[in-house]
Structure 1
Amino acid sequence: MGRRTRWAAALTAAGLLAFAAPTVGAQAVSASQRIDLKVLVVDDGGPSVAAIVNELDLTGTPYTRVVLSDPKRPTITAAFLSGTDSLGRAEAKYQAVVLPNNAPFPAGSAEMAAIVGYEQTFGIRQVDAYTYAQPAVGLNWASNPGYIGALDGMDGQVTTAGLSGPFRYLKGSVPFENNDPNVVESYGYLATPLAAQAAGATFTPLVTMPIPGAGGTQGVLAGEYDHNGVSEMVLTFAYNQYQQQYRLLARGIVDWMTQGVHIGFDRNYFEQDIDDVFLPDDRWSSTAKCTPGDAASACKGTPAASEIRMSPADVAYAKQWEQAHNFTFDFFFNGGGSDDATQNGTVDDPLTDALLADKTSFRWVNHTYDHPFLGCVQNTATVPWSCTTSATGATEWVSQQTIETAITQNVQWAEKRGISIDPTELVTGEHSGLKTLPQQPVDNPGLAPALAAAGVKWTGSDHSREPQQRAVGSALTVPRYPMSVYYNAGKVADEVDEYNWLYTATAQGGSGICTANPATTTCLPAPLDETTGYADYVVPLEARIDMGHILGDDPDPHYAHQSNLAEDRILYPVLDTLLSDYGNLMAADAPIVNLRESAIGTELQQRSAWQNAVSSGRVTAYRVGNVVTLQAPAGVKIPVTMPTGTTQTLLLGTRAVGTSYAGELSGWMSPGSLQSAVTLRLASAAMPIVPPMRGPVKVNAAHVAPAAITPKQLASVAKKVPLTPAGVAKLPHTAG
């Protein structure tokens, strides 16, 4: 029995085909029905469902997960899906349904019948996370014309309907990753919609891809199939949560299934920190393969090379670049570097003069006065360094007073020179004071009280060591991503030499670190060319990594150093590639959001509070007609995404909902004065139209799929595939 036949049989068994169901859609959803703002996820353990769950987690959208393999899972029945609330209103407990495919239950399943009846009754949409192209979902078989196989390196395209609908925030291109040409990373079924759909049914392609060898005929990757009072988003390709092609579509998938009204919101964030401004940075030695002058380096006895420090021309270029790209750098400054260069104001320092003359062009953040190490007292006689201990074996710590002075002295230095800063923001030198494994497994005990005394609320941490925000006394960390643009490199040749040292085997002249740590580091097949290796490999690789953070709703900042804006200005090619690629993919109404440290810290703090409220069951969110009601514990802000025109109802008057982004309104909401809940009023009660159910399901025997047909699942698609040198070579914007 084919899937469509089984579906009809299940409906008949449940008594749902004995009469024509009521019309659903915009006209049929009763203004008295309550729709709870939560998503039902039916999980088969595959990567596609996991990817959608990941997007719900990232955005803060509540969901209930039913794992099919769990013997203790609840049975999906009409009572599980709907009921009656305390006011006697019909209540839909879920605003959308995610299924692993179009029919994940056995033939004649009462659970599938319950889901279909529920969707018809309340106008609920369904996402088929990954399904076979077949007539049961409004598509022809993937043959004549059609394609079944790997999609790596191919390009999808959002259709006109997709660009005016759920994927309005994209420009149109959806390139598929090909990180490793030796691994199948994505697999799918390209087919065309049925020329003759069942009575009343329609199929609208949303994302397509040219079918190989079919003369430009487009096959469907994503489409909307409306039939018999049910609306499905059909996805015919496998993906995981890390892949760029999925990340580009994730926002639209959630927006489509929730019909543009949901808890949670998504932004594309990127912030660029520039550390050590005013200071010089030590230079990598290509002969000694270390960094002379760095106390933690193995370069004992090697004469220090000339240090790297920005020039006035570099300041002018930074300002010009910002203006050209509508982007602002965050300069993490050390006033002591200026005082050293000016000999405490007795001689002129052209760099200080240039930075102060253009001080309003940049955002400024405290990086301590003279960049001291603020953790344990370092013993640099050992390699790597170790913590100095007392005669009794106790760790010796940099004092609380030393930490506090390093912070406040820099604040005072900025105030005297009219540099505007937020004194609650800080990044210590090398993120020191925070635990640093393996040498220093705990924070300096003096750090938390010093931060409190100095009024610091936000302090940067290294994302590679501590990816999650945490408390340090009364302050919170802001994890920062390190970049593969090294602090000790101002010239391309030095950057490539150090990169080769880190990522090649000893037999190729490298350090062998990659050989010794295969689980975390991949060796290059051969050293990069000193002249072309940076542009051809390091730049596109770093840009792709950073793009993953942007598309992953990740506000955590990235950091480089002032040395990277000097000499060969090696940071700019990465940023140019990143912003160019972003501009080629995203529409103008979905710009990069560039927050400063305190705003990022606040965003992370609000996300944590919201997730705690959701996981503890202390959130109420539902829609009745054009009114949305939201309630959370006192002090917890609620993330929302709403259609344009939505307003918040106050005791007196109204106010705007969030800000406009990607064609919608979104942001964090709180109750108004003397209110305990957030009440939002949509501009219209109408929901996107689901074609009405006109009667019993009609089955065209010629279009019935074979029984138990399921899409192919590849283990290689289920995991993140690292970007290999061969994959980097295929990326756009790679210099030839």
Structure 2
Amino acid sequence: MKRSTRTAVLTVGALIAALGLPTAAAHADTTTPRVDLRVLVVTDGGPAVQAITAELDSTGTPYTQVDLTRSDRPTINPAFLADTVDGRPRAKYQAVVLPNDNPFTAGSAEMTALTAYEQTYAIPQVDAYTYARPQVGLQYFVAGGYAGSVDGAQAAITTAGRSGPFGYLEGAVPFEDNSPSVGESYAYLAQPAPGADFTPYVDAPIPGSSRRGSLVGEYRHDGRRELVVTFVYNRYQQQYRLLARGIVEWMTGGVHLGSTRNNFSVHVDDVFAADDRWDTQLNCTPGDVDCANGAGTPNPIRMTAADAEYAKTWQAAHGITLDMVYNGAGSLDQREDHNGVDELADKLQADRSAFRWVNHTYTHAFLGCEQDISAVPWKCATNPGGSTKWVSRTAIDDEIVLNRVWGQSLGLPLENDELVTGEHSGMAVLPQQTQDNPNLALSLTGNGVKWLASDNSRDPEQRQVGSAATVARYPMNVYYNVGKAAEAADEYNWIYTSRAQGGSGICEDHADTTTCLPAPLATATGYADHIVPLEIRTALGHVLAGDPKPHFIHQSNLAEERLAYPVLNGVIEGYDALFAANTPLVNQRMKDIGTELQRRAAWKSALQAGQVSAYRIGDSVTVTAPSGVAVTATLPTGSLIGAAAYGSPYAGKVSGWTGSTGTPLTFTLPSSAPAAPTAAVPAARPAPATAPAPGTRVPAAVRERGSSDAARS
């Protein structure tokens, strides 16, 4: 017995020395270590690790990346992983992400160091995509399992997954199958190996059997915990987007810097105005600048009072508030043409508190350069010396102020610091206008505008224009100039078919952003069968990525055949079917989205500059960030900041933003929080064999984005 005890002590001592811990800390097993809130990501350039890295970037969770393909990368050794701070053992990373369970060569000292580090500090490891075999707690797939395509598979969260890291999901995890001719997903489905301590969190039916095989599960062995993922994915695929939050929560124990919520806000432009209609014979829009020489007869589309009532009822049924982006002159025109009557305006005024309202300028005038529309495409008019002729500041002021005053006269609950210009005009629009109208910034500042909408397809990054910060909006391919499904399909065909098929050929000229249809859509069914599912998938993709940017449609899409609702219903109902009640859609107004984007940008900048530090000791989390930068974190429910409750609940955790003065912020975790390491060195265990993981199959489609955000505004 004495000899066995001596051997254990020597092993512990060797482990202390290997990890660079102070030998004086003979009582290290009773010393609570410091664990930095940072993730170590080891990448081989594959799509699965890239997807996890993208999620960390999106949430604002700090990480250090080691690229195995670079010859100048750091070596992963004990000193790289751990040291001491003020005499206290420090683990530099709270989690480790590897491309697979062992991406190193046989007998690798780096894998040995990682194994010892994970054992010593109870650090979890994510195997981003690995082969099913006993080394990861699973049977070989040939033993009654499966290896192959899982396109269209209906995976599910297990009971353990719902009570664990994936409790924010309702249960279903459908795999995409967007093209019958392209392989999009590949997986190894297998059951736990005999005797393995393995808990499946996500599984799917094994083809040809009544059994289910693990896709994501936790393997506990040798004093370590691994999240074993046996399907390949990229950052855009829906199945990964559903699981991304849970992967981060598992590896961090629900204690990490950064946060994310799923947002869906919808702006309805041109309310009170009328939108010109697409002409299916001329392939242009009479009354707009795309019809040369004023061809055709305008046939405008405008909401009715019944459409407004439908919108109000729809909102109540779906828990979403629409942002009505309005042009007051549209109502004036209606009253002038109809003996002073505007039933739509009367209805919307009566129900004004049911909606949010945003200034869209009085007449929807183009506020950039003065347009020369003598030819298609239009161009900027010029002064005699050749300089650009700009719309004046006075004209811009009038558009902003007159619409504001008109809205106030109706009692619309406005936020005067929000503005959406007509066609996002005033800002640069290529190729005709290569810079902002210099008068725009002056007008925005003079009129107290702080938030200015931009078109995400042209101007996606938040920037400053005078006093205003931009809020990029996603255009939907539910066009402004259609009120009927057949019109929508006809215009879609014109844009997305080749010249040989009777289309515009735009898709041939700009193959980097659009793809030609293989054949024109049937105008009777093309909208419902092709356009709607595609738009649902694109918009839902933004939502699942935690992107707060709003989407925008037009009032014409709520009129006549009410084309917007199948898309909006698909996004909302699709989301509700996937997510639990503790993870609702967040529906913010424009200024709140703008604030969120500003905070995220400042936080990301501080992280990239190395100005943020955070660590956990026991049940205490300490974060230091630059003064003026709001700190964001995700913590267990019941966490405190000082003596106050921290954050607000979302997805089974609490998260939020806390202003920083540059001094450390201290968060206290509840007793129910996952335990922190209580000893620097637990009972010593022999390092397992370090055979590298075998190769795994990655379909070519996984290395590419599955859908395009290209949309005509």
What TM-score bracket applies, with the shorter chain setting the length? over 0.9
Distance 1:154 1:357 in 2: 49
Distance 2:29 2:302 in 1: 65
Matched, 1:276 2:270: yes
Residue 44 (structure 1) aligns with: 44
The answer (yes or no) to whether the contact 2:47–2:703 under 8 Å persists in 1 is yes
Distance 1:222 1:689 in 2: 24
Residue 668 (structure 2) aligns with: 681
Deviation of 1:713 after TM superposition, in Å, equals 3.1
Matched, 1:227 2:221: yes
Distance 1:177 1:353 in 2: 45
Residue 62 (structure 1) aligns with: 62
Matched, 1:374 2:367: yes
Matched, 1:661 2:650: yes
Residue 181 (structure 2) aligns with: 182
The answer (yes or no) to whether the contact 1:29–1:122 under 8 Å persists in 2 is no
Specify which of 499, 508, 514 is matched with residue 515 of structure 1: 508
Matched, 1:601 2:600: no
Matched, 1:204 2:193: no
Matched, 1:357 2:344: no
Distance 2:153 2:281 in 1: 43
Specify which of 308, 317, 324 is matched with residue 310 of structure 2: 317
Matched, 1:347 2:340: yes
Distance 1:29 1:452 in 2: 61
Deviation of 1:111 after TM superposition, in Å, equals 1.1
Q: Report percent identity of matched pairs.
A: 53
Matched, 1:285 2:279: yes
Deviation of 1:510 after TM superposition, in Å, equals 2.0
| Equivalence map 1:300-699=2 (5 Å) | 300-343=293-336, 347-649=340-642, 654-671=643-660, 676-684=663-671, 687=674, 696-697=685-686
Residue 705 (structure 2) aligns with: 720
The answer (yes or no) to whether the contact 1:298–1:384 under 8 Å persists in 2 is no
Distance 2:433 2:17 in 1: 71
Deviation of 1:303 after TM superposition, in Å, equals 3.0
Deviation of 1:516 after TM superposition, in Å, equals 3.0
Residue 252 (structure 2) aligns with: 258
SS in 1 for 2:202: strand
Distance 2:379 2:36 in 1: 56
The answer (yes or no) to whether the contact 1:228–1:693 under 8 Å persists in 2 is no
Q: Return 169-178 or 515-524, whichever deviates more.
A: 515-524
Residue 6 (structure 2) aligns with: none
Residue 83 (structure 1) aligns with: 83
Deviation of 1:631 after TM superposition, in Å, equals 1.2
Deviation of 1:362 after TM superposition, in Å, equals 0.4
Deviation of 1:185 after TM superposition, in Å, equals 1.4
The answer (yes or no) to whether the contact 1:179–1:723 under 8 Å persists in 2 is no
The answer (yes or no) to whether the contact 1:17–1:697 under 8 Å persists in 2 is no
Residue 119 (structure 2) aligns with: 120
Q: Return 269-278 or 490-499, whichever deviates more.
A: 490-499
Deviation of 1:690 after TM superposition, in Å, equals 9.7
The answer (yes or no) to whether the contact 2:102–2:690 under 8 Å persists in 1 is no
Deviation of 1:515 after TM superposition, in Å, equals 2.9
User: 1:223-247: CA deviations, max 9, x gaps?
Assistant: 0011111111000111110100000
Distance 1:476 1:705 in 2: 52
The alignment's C-alpha RMSD in Å is 2.5
The answer (yes or no) to whether the contact 2:145–2:206 under 8 Å persists in 1 is yes
**Change in CA separation of 1:688 and 1:223 when aligned onto 2, cut-off 3 Å:** farther
User: 1:93-113: CA deviations, max 9, x gaps?
Assistant: 111110111011111211111
The answer (yes or no) to whether the contact 1:539–1:573 under 8 Å persists in 2 is yes
Deviation of 1:53 after TM superposition, in Å, equals 0.3
Residue 7 (structure 1) aligns with: none
Distance 1:344 1:555 in 2: 40
Q: Return 114-123 or 343-352, whichever deviates more.
A: 343-352
User: 1:621-666: CA deviations, max 9, x gaps?
Assistant: 11111111111111100111000110110xxxx2221110011101
SS in 2 for 1:645: coil
Residue 167 (structure 1) aligns with: 166
Deviation of 1:212 after TM superposition, in Å, equals 0.7
**Change in CA separation of 1:31 and 1:452 when aligned onto 2, cut-off 3 Å:** farther
**Change in CA separation of 1:150 and 1:391 when aligned onto 2, cut-off 3 Å:** same
**Change in CA separation of 1:345 and 1:452 when aligned onto 2, cut-off 3 Å:** farther
Distance 1:371 1:595 in 2: 24
Residue 709 (structure 1) aligns with: 694
Structure 1, gaps ≥5 residues long: 1-11, 23-27, 725-736
Distance 2:252 2:143 in 1: 35
Distance 2:109 2:371 in 1: 67
Deviation of 1:570 after TM superposition, in Å, equals 0.5
| Equivalence map 1:127-142=2 (5 Å) | 127-142=126-141
In the superposition, the TM-score normalised over structure 1's length comes to 0.90
Deviation of 1:345 after TM superposition, in Å, equals 11
**Change in CA separation of 1:18 and 1:56 when aligned onto 2, cut-off 3 Å:** closer
Distance 1:594 1:445 in 2: 33
**Change in CA separation of 1:686 and 1:475 when aligned onto 2, cut-off 3 Å:** closer
The answer (yes or no) to whether the contact 2:112–2:687 under 8 Å persists in 1 is no
The answer (yes or no) to whether the contact 2:133–2:140 under 8 Å persists in 1 is yes
User: 1:120-143: CA deviations, max 9, x gaps?
Assistant: 111111100011111111011011
User: 1:61-110: CA deviations, max 9, x gaps?
Assistant: 0000011111111111111111111x321111111110111011111211
The answer (yes or no) to whether the contact 2:151–2:176 under 8 Å persists in 1 is yes
**Change in CA separation of 1:345 and 1:488 when aligned onto 2, cut-off 3 Å:** closer
Distance 2:300 2:31 in 1: 70
Residue 5 (structure 2) aligns with: none
**Change in CA separation of 1:325 and 1:708 when aligned onto 2, cut-off 3 Å:** closer
SS in 2 for 1:343: helix
